[in-house]
């Protein structure tokens, strides 16, 4: 059992969904991202996704693109991301990395897995890597006891969902909409049926991401999913604070508490 599985089991035991918060490492700075993540961990996130900024983030909308670009312009390195993972895991919260595939391949799949495990990370979410192309990662994750979180989408056939979930561990990431990351004002009508189809294929917890931005949406999603994943809304708070770290922390805390209340209401 990884810390990730524990986090979902704990939430399930409390009869609620887990709150999963995403922030990119190195945004606004490496130390700044650690501070921001600590706020999320202290104020109610059960799981933290540390984003690895990438030059070509095809699954991300403008908000996360802007954050990733800013982090890269300030020189964030893969090694810095692992440092953020270490600091995040040290808070006691379950920690996973969300990354496009090329940076992992360049670092070395086996080496990345080893360093992620020793930093206290539980696993990887891979938006552009499906099990079809994941041979070396399946092997490395096995060897280092890391979780593999692949994505399912509203367009996935039942057969694809079975195939994908067979290779998942920790949880399954269900993308609520056909689209890229970004806060949306209404929740997706596609998410519920996708979660139901996914649950027919696996006993793993199912987390729903893409578009959740407030407590009411979190409560709604928590009504049918095991995890509520929030990213762009957090990033937006930091962007809007315009470099005022104190203001950003206050806003992040308020949003986390609202979402944490939401997942307990659902």
Partner 1 sequence: MTDQATERAPLAVDSAGPDATGHFGRFGGRFMPEALQAALDELTEAWQDAMADPAFTAELDRMLREYAGTPSRLYEATRLSEVAGARILLKREDLLHTGAHKVRNVLGQALLTKRMGKHRVIAETGAGQHGVASATAAAYLDLDCTVYMGEVDTERQALNVARMRLLGAEVVPVTSGSRTLKDAINEALRDWVSTVDHTAYLFGTAAGPHPFPALVRSFVRGIGDEARAQCLELTGALPDAVTACIGGGSNAIGLFTAFLDDADVRIYGFEAAGDGVETGRHAATITAGEVGVLHGARTYVLQDEDGQTKDSHSISAGLDYPGVGPEHAHLAATGRASYLPVTDAEAMEAFALLARTEGIIPAIESAHAVAGTLRLAREMPGATLLVNLSGRGDKDMGTAMEWFGLGRDRGEELADTATEEPAGTPEEDS
Which of the residues are catalytic? 49, 60
Q: Pick from 152, 201, 212, 259 the residue near partner 1 by CB under 8 A.
A: 152
Q: How far is CA 197 from CA 4, 61, 127, 194, in A?
A: 23, 26, 20, 5
Q: Check binding of 154 to partner 1 (CB under 8 A).
A: yes
Nearer of residues 50 and 152 to partner 1, judged by Cβ: 152
Q: Check binding of 178 to partner 1 (CB under 8 A).
A: yes
Minimum Å gap between C-beta 254 and partner 1 is 29
Q: Check binding of 29 to partner 1 (CB under 8 A).
A: no
Stretch that binds partner 1, among 17-25, 96-104, 198-206, 212-220 (CB under 8 A): 96-104
Task: Answer for the pair 148, 167: CB distance below 8 angstroms, yes or no.
Answer: yes
Listed in sequence order, the residues at least 6 apart from 182 whose beta carbon sits closer than 8 Å to its beta carbon are 60, 61, 62, 63, 64, 210, 211, 232
Q: In the beta sheet, which residues pair with residue 208?
A: 174, 228
Q: Pick from 8, 137, 150, 171 the residue near partner 1 by CB under 8 A.
A: 150
Stretch that binds partner 1, among 3-11, 30-38, 61-69, 249-257 (CB under 8 A): 61-69
Q: Pick from 30, 153, 255, 263 the residue near partner 1 by CB under 8 A.
A: 153
Q: Check binding of 189 to partner 1 (CB under 8 A).
A: no
Q: Please, what is the Cα angle at 202 between 201 and 206, to 5 degrees?
A: 110
Nearer of residues 10 and 106 to partner 1, judged by Cβ: 106
List contacts with partner 1 (CB under 8 A).
54-59, 61-62, 65, 69, 72, 77-78, 101-107, 127-130, 132-133, 150-157, 160, 164, 175, 177-180
């Amino acid at each position: 059992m990884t810390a990730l599985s524990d986090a979902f089991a704990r939430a399930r035991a409390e009869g609620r969904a887990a709150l999963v918060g995403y922030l990119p490492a190195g945004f606004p700075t490496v130390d700044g991202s650690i501070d921001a993540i600590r706020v999320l961990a202290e104020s109610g996130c059960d799981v933290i996704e540390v984003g690895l900024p990438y030059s070509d983030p095809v699954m991300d909308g403008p908000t996360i693109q802007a954050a990733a670009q800013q982090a890269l312009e300030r020189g964030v390195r893969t090694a810095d991301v692992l440092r953020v993972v270490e600091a995040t895991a040290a808070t006691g919260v379950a920690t996973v990395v969300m990354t496009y595939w090329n940076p992992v391949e360049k670092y070395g799949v086996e080496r990345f897995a080893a360093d992620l495990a020793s930093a206290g990370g539980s696993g990887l979410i891979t938006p552009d890597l499906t099990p079809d192309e994941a041979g070396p990662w399946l092997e490395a994750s096995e060897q280092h006891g890391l979780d593999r979180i692949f994505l399912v989408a509203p367009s996935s056939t039942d057969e694809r969902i079975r195939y994908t979930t067979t290779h998942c561990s920790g949880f399954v990431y269900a993308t609520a909409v056909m689209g890229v990351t970004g806060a949306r004002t209404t929740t997706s009508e596609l998410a519920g049926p996708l979660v139901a189809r996914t649950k027919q294929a696996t006993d793993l917890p199912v987390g729903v991401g893409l578009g959740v931005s407030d407590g009411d949406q979190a409560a709604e999603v928590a009504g049918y999913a095991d995890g509520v994943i929030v990213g762009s809304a957090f990033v937006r708070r930091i962007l809007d604070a315009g470099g005022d770290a104190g203001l950003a922390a206050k806003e992040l805390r308020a949003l986390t508490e609202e979402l944490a209340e939401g997942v307990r209401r659902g």
